[in-house]
Amino acid sequence: MIARSASRYCLKLRPTLARPVSQYSRQWCRRYSIPSGPLPTASSSSSTGMLAPFVNELDKIAPSFHINGSQIRILKTPTDFYEALKTRIRNAKKRIFLSTLYIGKSEKELIATLQDALRANPELKLSILTDALRGTRETPDPSCASLLAPLITEFGSDRVEIRMYHTPNLTGLRKKYIPKRINEGWGLQHMKLYGIDDEIILSGANLSNNYFTNRQDRYHLFSSSEVTNYFWRLYQGVTSLSFLVEPRNDVPAGYKLRWPSTNAAPSPLEHPAEFVSQATPLISRLISRDETLNNPKLQDQGSPVSRNTKVYMLGQLSQLMKPDSSTELPAITHILKTLAAPEYAGSAWTFTAGYFNPAPSLTNLLLSTASQNNVVITASPFANGFYKSTGVSGLLPDAYTLLARRFLRAIKEKKRDSTVVLKEWRKGTVNEPGGWTYHAKGLWVTLPNEQHPAISIIGSSNYTKRSYSHDLEAGALIVTEDNDLKKRLGDEQKWLQEYASPVTLDDLAKTERRVGLKVRIAMWIVSVVGGAL
């Protein structure tokens, strides 16, 4: 089907198209022995015609692969995610690589599952990447680092590698005196990549108990060696810029962080400017659209006949690159700008972020689309992980309430009241029996005259200003003509709204939703650490 779609892209010539077909699209046409030409405009009534303006520009932004829609499995619950992860770990043959913000210090079952797999298969290798600040926060008490170090002791450094990324933005006196919880605001390793052999789960979830039980997120399982190998290469690039965990019995913490001489750059703590300078060409190359074109190991394999879905690899690794050539923000910006065209007046989008603090540019773009039936989903204060937490972090739910109020005011000012609805997600109350938190993030786009989304973004990003400046993010943009995958994306969009209710300015004006003077403190916290979870 994807070959026929390519044919329609390349043969339906439209002389009025202002922008020429991209280099990648020309290569796509050559691959299938199809004459290249301009892509059709959005005036085409077909799904292919409506997708063309998106694809033409996206091909210039990010690397991509053609797969079949059946190679993407959408998981629904935290339990589904955890069971899928454990099952694949148990059956792993050659490699496991896990990139996460942190692994919960009490995750003994997950560690035992990894141990069992390593013991059962001497050929299996394990690599784990976490953030150094979050992974060592509790040191010298038990931490993520001390939990993982014994794996190296048991299986050896040739089979187990534990890496921890440290931001170059936090050094010297700043690192010495800023409190540990706040210091994470200067940048984190936030990619969520769970790769086992030739499959990978992309998600926003971390690896700790609440993400396995009662913290709603999104989880897409890609059964594709091309997609998995691409993220494996990106993963390796970041690990070559990270500290190595070494087990040590002579220190209370049980481990030490060492900067290997074989790393791709000097330590970010000793030479931060040089670290970024040397990281820039490495990371820029790995996220470039040319990475898949010039690397035979990453190119599409096998028959293209049933490849009806295109998956773009997105990376937002701004703090590692000067100049910044990240791909996620340009990709989502292009999607929303395209939706502003009058031809897309019949389209619809759904946007979700557990911590609702989108970058100002995204807020403006969301409210400037021509789409008429749009939904924003965010966490209710009662589903916010900071609800009733101790210290200043307990003010954060109020901060997000204020941000939601500002968003609703912007909707009203732009006269979009009838086309954009804000919904708050709540399933019980945090820290009470049956209470869940909400952590899902993503975007779905349904084209005019269609019932289900043809475009969706899945990944780690919270879409905040900080996501686009300080943290390391990775994800995928799905563009599909597969009707079954479209339906499943639509189902995902719907089930995330099962516990979501519309909220208005009048609702937020009620006494119980008003925010106090301390909210300014909370707002500052959001600007520094918000969206890091």
Q: Using CA atoms, how far apart are residues 223 and 120, in angstroms rounded to an integer?
A: 23
Asked whether 279 and 167 are in contact (CB, 8 A), the reply is no
Q: In three state form, how does the secondary structure of 42-53 look? A: CCCCCHHHHHHH
The mean pLDDT value of the chain amounts to 87
Residues 503-515: pLDDT tens digits? 999 998 887 787 7
Query: Cis peptide before 360, with omega less than 30 degrees from 0?
Result: no
- Give the per-residue pLDDT at 295: 65
Find the farthest-apart pair of alpha carbons in the chain and give their distance in angstroms, rounded: 72
Q: Is the dihedral of CA 215, 220, 223, 226 positive or negative?
A: negative
- Give the per-residue pLDDT at 283: 97
Residues 459-470: pLDDT tens digits? 999 998 888 988
- Give the per-residue pLDDT at 22: 43
Catalytic residue among 86, 105, 166, 192: 192
Per-residue tokens: 475 = 């994800």
The whole-number average pLDDT for the span 103-108 is 92
Alpha-carbon separation of residue 118 from 81, 89, 94, 96, 147 (angstroms) = 21, 9, 10, 10, 16
Beta strands 309-316; 348-353: pairing state: unpaired
- Write the single-letter amino acid at 132: A
Per-residue tokens: 202 = 């992309």
Work out the pLDDT band at 41, boundaries 50, 70, 90: very low
Which range, of 32-36, 188-192, 511-515, averages the lowest pLDDT? Answer: 32-36
Nearest to 360 by CA among 439, 457, 468: 468
Catalytic residue among 105, 166, 190, 470: 190
Per-residue exposure over 264-295, b if at least 16 CB sit within 10 Å of its own CB, e if not: bbbbbbeebeebbebbbebbbebbbbebbeee
Catalytic residue among 60, 125, 175, 197: 197
**Mind giving me the DSSP string for 441-507?**
EEEEEE-TT-SS-SEEEEES---BTTTTTTSBEEEEEEEE--HHHHHHHHHHHHHTTTTEEE--HHH
| Greater model confidence, 399 or 484 | 484
Q: Using CA atoms, how far apart are residues 170 and 411, in angstroms rounded to an integer?
A: 37
Which residue's entry shows tokens 């006196």? Answer: 173
Alpha-carbon separation of residue 202 from 221, 230, 350, 461 (angstroms) = 7, 13, 19, 11
Kindly report the backbone phi and psi dihedral angles of residue 95, in degrees, each rounded to the nearest multiple of 5, phi listed first.
-150, 145
- Write the single-letter amino acid at 140: P
Per-residue tokens: 493 = 């969009």
Is 192 part of the annotated catalytic residue set? yes
Q: Using CA atoms, how far apart are residues 447 and 49, in angstroms rounded to an integer?
A: 10
Nearest to 440 by CA among 317, 360, 356: 356
Nearest to 350 by CA among 457, 190, 244: 457
**Residue 3, pLDDT above cutoff 90:** no
- Torsion, Cα 435 437 442 446, to 10 degrees, reads 20
Give the DSSP letter of residue 97: E
Residues 300-335: pLDDT tens digits? 554 454 789 999 999 999 999 999 999 999 999 999
Neighbours of 497 (CB within 10 A): 14
- Give the per-residue pLDDT at 331: 98
Nearest to 153 by CA among 111, 212, 211: 111
Is 297 part of the annotated catalytic residue set? no
Name the β-bridge partners of 72. 222
* 169 CB burial (10 A radius; 0-12, 13-18, 19+): middle
Residues 282-296: pLDDT tens digits? 999 999 988 665 565
Cβ-based neighbours of 512, under 8 Å, separated by 6 or more: none
Domains and CATH numbers, the chain: 70-287 (3.30.870.10)
- Give the per-residue pLDDT at 514: 78
Alpha-carbon separation of residue 276 from 50, 238, 270, 272 (angstroms) = 40, 12, 12, 6
pTM score of the predicted model? 0.89
Q: Is the dihedral of CA 404, 346, 350, 434 positive or negative?
A: positive
Nearest to 527 by CA among 430, 403, 443: 403
**Which run of H or of E encompasses 28?**
helix 23-31
Name the β-bridge partners of 194. 98, 201
Is 197 part of the annotated catalytic residue set? yes
